[in-house]
Amino acid sequence: MHTHTTRMWNLLEDMSLFERPAGDDGEYDAHVHLAQMASLLGDPPKLVIERERLLRQNRLKKSILNVRGKECMNMNEFWGGPSFFDDDDSIMRKDLIRREITLADTVKHLQGDDKEHFLDFASGMLEWFRGSEGRLSN
């Protein structure tokens, strides 16, 4: 997701499109990051959920330590899982999603047609991952 498109926000607004996704302990938190993405991009496409489930099942040959010092046997555990989606394909930490903020709310230095054209251009490039069908629609 961190592509040239997200860097446009850094240049235009002097801010990251996604705030530093940290948990209460100040460390990176994938649940917070996922919620920030869902807040601005909408629900993730099915393929993202399927890949997350695949990562739950794929065991590492030997455990690795995450930044919190926890031994992890798969990448979901490493990033703070065990899972990020429930059985209904919904984000587990719905409490972190902020639906009241739109992509347009993040653009403050442009107004009128300039803002509309920028959002049209950028939203056509924003996607959950390269080549995804989860691009923003107008």
- What is the domain partition of the chain in residue ranges? 15-99
Indicate the SS3 state at residue 65. Answer: strand
d(CA 86, CA 1): 22
* pTM, two decimal places: 0.78
pLDDT of residue 4: 67
Distance of CA 112 to the CA centre of its chain: 28
pLDDT of residue 135: 47
pLDDT in tens, the chain (138 residues): 456 677 777 777 877 777 777 888 888 889 999 999 899 888 999 999 998 999 888 999 999 999 889 999 999 899 888 889 998 999 999 999 998 988 899 898 899 999 999 888 887 778 787 665 544 443
